[in-house]
Amino acid sequence: MTDPPPQGHMYLYDSATPPLDDGSYRLTAATEVSYQGSRQGFSQETYFTVAGPRFTVPQAMVATSYPPGNGHGPFQDTLAHIVLSRRTLPWERELDPSGLIPAPTIPPGAPPAPGLPVPWVALLVFEEGEYTLLRGIPLQQAVPADVFTRLGSPANISCDAVEADADLVASILPSVEELQLLAHVRWVNVDDRELNTAGGDGYYAVVISNRLPSASAQCRAILVSLEERSDLVQANPPPVADPRTGPAAPAAADVPASAVPVDVLPNPIFTLSQPPVHTFSPVIGPPLTYVPTARVRLVALTSWQFTCEGPGTFRQLMQNLDVAMFGTVADVGHPPLSDTGHLPIELQDRLGASEAVWYRGPLVPYNLTRDDLGPYHCADQARRVTPETGAEDVSYAAAFEVGRLLAAADPRLAQAIMRWRRESYKQSARASTIGALADRLPLELPPTLAETLHTPITPIIGTAATQAVVQNAPPQADAYGLARVRGATGMNPADLASAWQLASSVEAADLLGADPGTLGAVVSPPAQTTRADTTLAAVAADTAGLDRLAAARAQAVANAATTLGAAAPTTPGGA
């Protein structure tokens, strides 16, 4: 299951738990070394903390929400939900690490509880007037004292909190099992989404609320933290009004149980010790007693508002769109768009005079042909005059200037362009040089210029140049200039014979040394005695030869000793 869902599909998971819950951890590494019977243990302890969002959820982690923030629409039939881009977030902390919430009682015959990890967050929907949102209050004021202690008494934490009637909160707040059912993970295909979504992995955690907002009510959905709130979270779901027998009497309207008359309110949490000063006279019946209802506060991680009024669902919004090609205006002539999509705008020309010109952006209502007159080297080249109006069309000149400004704002791009040009100039110079050489030397080059520029050119030129020099030079026969010497008058046997009146030139040649080699004649090398190929074994077996060698060596040593005199050290054997 490593392939993302195909287009149009999504996968749902019950939960996604991180490898480690948030909290402080101690890591102990221990080893034991035994050496020669004795054993010794070593251990090392280190501490680390896994920290995640705890008292506030940053807006960046909220991928999206439903109903949309500040949205208006018929949301009274839908359950609000929040989509978190961090898929493990609802399961990163433990709801009740102290185990204060008792195990739920399962009625006989009911299916067993799913046994999933319990989220520590819940999404609650409040209507306007039911709640007070307190911004940036100290944590001590947001939770009861014992909860604050169980949270570890973190210092200097300020958070947002929501305050509401205790009875209302009790009537909304999910029980432990309901919390499990109200959060899940989705894995969706992100191929055709805008970039923030398309760059992600497609995993999202979804937390659903359990309350349907009333029609035309302004509501606020609040993601609250329930960590250590064993005073509020119930193990067993509250009683159900059976719709098969009709809804319970107060359930027809959205009336919490606490709204029954105050005189039957069971066990008011506290009452004012003094009756209120302003009483209405005459007093009929029992005196009025002001009974404030208890309020509870919950840490609000994030929240948003919406109104159940007007058309505002995705379907309604998309159906009511004004659909047209670009350049269609509701009120024709405002703006005064030409039928080609050009818009007249004011421009200051070079002289400072104001001038009306045409402009059209890159988004056009027609399929245009591509201008093949490019490239353009300055914006003025791209200015045009429309014959119908005589006014100038600066669309492409404006595009040119935008491109130039965007590029000039990026120093790295300027460097890249310079490098691109420099590289090309260098290659251009090489190409010119090679071309000039090829005109003069018979270079063996690859067929195309591109391949030529990739060929190591130096050896080719070297070879060609050498060959060219060698072809025009005389043969290299008389290394020592003997031919010139022999050309001297005194070295010619025939001239010598006639000058000295010798009997023949042979005699003169003898007088000159008679060595044919010195006179440049070809001297054949002395004949080599041929030897049969032999082996090491055969050499070792030739004792007579080895004896001769030993004798020659002994003679050489003796000669050396004689030459060096008697003081010479005796050569060690086997030298």
Q: Which of residues 394-413 bind other proteins (CB under 8 A)?
A: 395-408, 410, 412-413
Stretch that binds other proteins, among 26-34, 154-162, 220-228, 426-434 (CB under 8 A): 426-434
**CB–CB of 375/410 below 8 Å?**
no
- Name the minimum Å distance from CB 339 to other proteins: 13
294 is a site residue for other proteins (CB under 8 A): no
Q: Which is nearer to other proteins, 325 or 550 (CB)?
A: 325
Q: Which is nearer to other proteins, 41 or 112 (CB)?
A: 112
Window 142 to 171, contacts with other proteins (CB under 8 A): 167-168, 170-171
Q: Which is nearer to other proteins, 140 or 234 (CB)?
A: 234
- Name the minimum Å distance from CB 469 to other proteins: 29
**CB–CB of 493/506 below 8 Å?**
yes
374 is a site residue for other proteins (CB under 8 A): yes
Amino acid at 277: V
262 is a site residue for other proteins (CB under 8 A): no
**CB–CB of 160/222 below 8 Å?**
no
193 is a site residue for other proteins (CB under 8 A): yes
Q: And the tokens for 107? A: 């009625």
**Among residues 3, 8, 26, 537, the one that binds other proteins under rule CB under 8 A:** 8
Burial of 80 (0-12, 13-18, 19+ CB in 10 A): buried
375 is a site residue for other proteins (CB under 8 A): yes
Task: Classify the C-alpha dihedral 72-73-74-79 as positive or negative.
Answer: negative
- Name the minimum Å distance from CB 234 to other proteins: 11
Q: Which is nearer to other proteins, 18 or 144 (CB)?
A: 18
376 is a site residue for other proteins (CB under 8 A): yes
Window 438 to 497, contacts with other proteins (CB under 8 A): 449-450, 453-454
HSE, CB side, 13 Å, CA atoms: give it for residue 490.
Answer: 1
Phi, psi of 355 (to 5 degrees): -145, 140
In DSSP notation, 475-516 reads P---TT-HHHHHHSGGG-HHHHHHHHT-S-HHHHHHHTT--T
Partners of residue 72 on adjacent β-strands: 307
Residue ranges with strand state E in 418-533:
none
**CB–CB of 125/213 below 8 Å?**
yes
**Among residues 30, 60, 155, 253, the one that binds other proteins under rule CB under 8 A:** 253
Residue 354 CB neighbours (<10 A): 8
Residues with Cβ within 8 Å of residue 549, at least 6 apart in sequence: none
Stretch that binds other proteins, among 62-70, 504-512, 536-544, 552-560 (CB under 8 A): 62-70
Window 344 to 373, contacts with other proteins (CB under 8 A): 345, 359-368, 370-371
- Name the minimum Å distance from CB 531 to other proteins: 59
DSSP state of 25: E
- Name the minimum Å distance from CB 443 to other proteins: 17
325 is a site residue for other proteins (CB under 8 A): yes
**Among residues 3, 32, 45, 331, the one that binds other proteins under rule CB under 8 A:** 331
Q: Indicate the SS3 state at residue 106.
A: coil
**Among residues 58, 102, 138, 246, the one that binds other proteins under rule CB under 8 A:** 246
Q: Indicate the SS3 state at residue 302.
A: strand
- Name the minimum Å distance from CB 70 to other proteins: 8
Q: Which is nearer to other proteins, 55 or 187 (CB)?
A: 187
Nearest-10 Cα torsion for 412, 413, 417, 423: 40
How remote is the C-alpha of 441 from its chain's centroid?
53
Binding-site residue total for other proteins (CB under 8 A)? Answer: 169
